Structure 1
């Protein structure tokens, strides 16, 4: 079995989380400058055994697509060309940023650390991945 990689896509930064090879535990991996995302993913998938990519699906409260979905669709087209052999699934990512921020508070991070948007993106990706794992069990 290979890892599952989750992506919390953003126009500036993208949070990335990954499972262990048994696909049990979701852990934050890193935050990447979005301009470097495709090269990062290509390199990662060439050196690690990745079975699936999970990309957040941003939705409004009324279940319609968020404005950022336009950018994600363009990214998904590039991703399909760059890494065609790994399937991509989408999962609802509503509230992950708020949940990530609350997770930071609950874990006792100082106010200065909670302003680290890269960390919020990485935690959001981890929450997306954990939500996906939960939906599969």
Structure 2
């Protein structure tokens, strides 16, 4: 069984999370400069078995796609072209940034550490991945 890799896509930075090989535990992987995302993913899958990409689906409260979906759709097209053998699943990502920030508070991180936006992105990706695992 391969890993599942979650992507919290952002205009500047993208948070990544991954499961263990048994697809039981979601863990933060890293945050990558979005311009370097496809090369990073290609390098990662050359070393690790990945069977699915889970990508956040940003929605507004009225269930319509948010503005950031306009940035994610072209990325998904590029990902499907560059790495066609790994399927993609979309997961609602509403409130993940707020949940990530609250997780940082609950875990006792100091204010300076909570201002690390890269860490928020990585935790958001982990929450997206955990949501997917719960749903299956």
Summarize deviations over 1:63-89 as a string: whole Å, max 9, x none.
000000010001001101110000000
The whole-number CA distance in structure 2 between the counterparts of 1:38 and 1:56 is 16
The whole-number CA distance in structure 1 between the counterparts of 2:69 and 2:62 is 15
**What TM-score, normalized by structure 2, do the two folds share?**
0.99
SS at match of 1:28: strand
The whole-number CA distance in structure 1 between the counterparts of 2:88 and 2:43 is 17
The whole-number CA distance in structure 1 between the counterparts of 2:18 and 2:84 is 19
What is the Cα-based RMSD across aligned positions, in Å?
A: 0.3
Whether 2:39 is the aligned partner of 1:39: answer yes
Aligned to 1:102: 102
Q: CA offset at residue 47 of structure 1?
A: 1.1
Task: Write out the 4+ residue segments of structure 1 that deviate beyond 3 Å after TM superposition.
Answer: none
SS at match of 1:71: helix
Summarize deviations over 1:48-76 as a string: whole Å, max 9, x none.
00010000000000000000001000100
Aligned to 1:67: 67
**Where in structure 2 are the equivalents of 1:83-122 lying within 5 Å?**
83-122=83-122
Whether 2:52 is the aligned partner of 1:30: answer no
Gapped runs of 5+ residues in structure 1?
A: none
Q: CA offset at residue 46 of structure 1?
A: 1.3
The whole-number CA distance in structure 2 between the counterparts of 1:131 and 1:95 is 12
